[in-house]
Structure formats: structure tokens, C-alpha cells
């Protein structure tokens, strides 16, 4: 709550601690997502040393940074909407519980559908740009961002269903040819 006071001014734009966190978080998301997208186009298999090089502490720090970035607006909104700390704590615990329960099924779905991973990384780039814009007091209506993400997701689900139907059709055709022989 104390992060909204201006710390300094750049080109007439007052910069607060919240703005700095949003811009740095947006830059982090852009860098991380771009790196992951680039890695997905690599032809060679990742070596065991590169997989092992990501330490437990590095992973924890990255998760903490992402949690702070995604939570900051929600916490500020919750502070504005709710007068009782206990309600905020219950809401946060409930949301973390849902995330923990949903993490495995969502992870399995993403592993089974690699295009979903690319879409999610694209969403992170969109969120990164949105955070940077918000950090510089350029307010993008959240409805536009959510609608574009939902529309893209629905299109991708339709693509997944179409690919599955096509694969089933090809499988049936091959089985028919084999039986005919």
C-alpha cells in the first residue's frame, strides 16, 4: 500500500515503487517468455547438464518474482475493496489452494498439447507488455486483454479438436486399408 507514493519523476511521469515493480516484472516476463519460445525452436535436445544447472534456489526466486508480479494488482485491489485482513488472507489461501490442485492436470494438458505452451508463453508476453505499460501509467483496459486471451484460447481449443478429429480419421482410414489387404 505504501508503494504508490512517487519516488522520482521521469519526463513528467511520477514513478512509484509499484511502477518499478510492474516494469521490472514485465521485463522479466518478456525476457523469460522470449527465452522459452526461442528454446522451443532449438533442434538439439537439451543436455542433462543444462537441465540440472537450474538450481532449486533459482527456481524458487523466479516463482517468487512471478507471484509478486501477478499478486501486486490483486492485493492493491483487495486492500481497496475489503476492510478486513482476515478476508484477504482467506482469499489468498483459497486461490493458492486452487492453483496447487489445478497445477498437475493443467501441466499434463500442456504437455499433451505443445501449442498450448506456445500460446501460454505468448500470453505471458502480452501480460509483460501490459505490466510495463501500467508501470508507465498507460492503462490498458483489462477487458481487452482478457478478451484477446480468451478468444485465442478458444481458437486453439478448436484447432486441437480439429487435429484430433483429423488424426482419428487418418487412423481409421489406415486401419480400413490394412483390413482390406
pLDDT tens digit string along 64-119? Answer: 666 665 655 555 555 555 667 777 778 777 777 777 788 788 878 888 888 988 99
For the whole model, what pTM was predicted? 0.69
How large is the C-alpha radius of gyration of the chain?
21
pLDDT tens digit string along 11-33? Answer: 888 888 888 888 888 898 898 88
- CA 10, CA 8: separation in Å to the nearest integer? 7
Percent of the chain, pLDDT > 90? 17
pLDDT tens digit string along 141-170? Answer: 888 998 999 999 999 999 999 999 999 999
Contact 88, 78 (CB under 8 A): yes
Extents of the domains making up the chain: 2-140
Amino acid at each position: 500500500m505504501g508503494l504508490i507514493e512517487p519516488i522520482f519523476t521521469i519526463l513528467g511521469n511520477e514513478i512509484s515503487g509499484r511502477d518499478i515493480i510492474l516494469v521490472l516484472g514485465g521485463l522479466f516476463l518478456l525476457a523469460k517468455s522470449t527465452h522459452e519460445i526461442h528454446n522451443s525452436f532449438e533442434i538439439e535436445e537439451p543436455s542433462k547438464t543444462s537441465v540440472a544447472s537450474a538450481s532449486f534456489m533459482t527456481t524458487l526466486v523466479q516463482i517468487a518474482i512471478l507471484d509478486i508480479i501477478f499478486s501486486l494488482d490483486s492485493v492493491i485491489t483487495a486492500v481497496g475493496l475489503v476492510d478486513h485482513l482476515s478476508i484477504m488472507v482467506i482469499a489468498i489461501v483459497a486461490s493458492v489452494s486452487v492453483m496447487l490442485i489445478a497445477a498437475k492436470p493443467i501441466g499434463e494438458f500442456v504437455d499433451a498439447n505443445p501449442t498450448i505452451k506456445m500460446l501460454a508463453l505468448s500470453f505471458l508476453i502480452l501480460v509483460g507488455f501490459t505490466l510495463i505499460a501500467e508501470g508507465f501509467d498507460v492503462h490498458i483496459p483489462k477487458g481487452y486483454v482478457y478478451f484477446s486471451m480468451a478468444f485465442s484460447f478458444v481458437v486453439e481449443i478448436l484447432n486441437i479438436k480439429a487435429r484430433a478429429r483429423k488424426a482419428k480419421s487418418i487412423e481409421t482410414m489406415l486401419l480400413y486399408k490394412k483390413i482390406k489387404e
